[in-house]
Amino acid sequence: MTTNQELANTPDNSARVIGLIVGDVAIFALFVIIGRLSHEEGVNADAVINVAAPFVIGWGIAAPLMKLYTPAVSEHTKIALQRTALAWCVAAPIGLVLRSLVWKHDFKPGFAITTFIFNMILLLAWRGWSAYRAGKRSA
**Exposure string for 5-14, b = 16+ CB within 10 A, e = fewer:** eeeeeeeeee
Query: What is the tens place of the pLDDT at every residue in 53-92?
Result: 999 999 999 999 999 999 999 999 999 999 999 999 999 9
Is the predicted pLDDT of residue 9 greater than 90, yes or no?
no
Query: What is the tens place of the pLDDT at every residue in 91-111?
Result: 999 999 999 999 999 999 999
Is the predicted pLDDT of residue 3 greater than 60, yes or no?
no
CA distance 29 to 21: 12
How high is the pLDDT of residue 139?
65
CA 32 centroid distance within chain: 13
Closest-CA residue to 55 (of 103, 10, 11, 20): 103
How high is the pLDDT of residue 13?
82
State mean pLDDT over 47-53: 96
Query: What is the tens place of the pLDDT at every residue in 108-125?
Result: 999 999 999 999 999 999
How high is the pLDDT of residue 39?
94
Q: Are 88 and 120 in contact (CB under 8 A)?
A: yes
Q: State the burial class of residue 44 (Cβ atoms within 10 Å of its Cβ: 0-12, 13-18, 19+).
A: exposed
CA distance 17 to 12: 9
Helix (H) / strand (E) element for 129: namely: helix 109-138
| Average confidence score pLDDT of the chain | 92
Q: State the burial class of residue 138 (Cβ atoms within 10 Å of its Cβ: 0-12, 13-18, 19+).
A: exposed
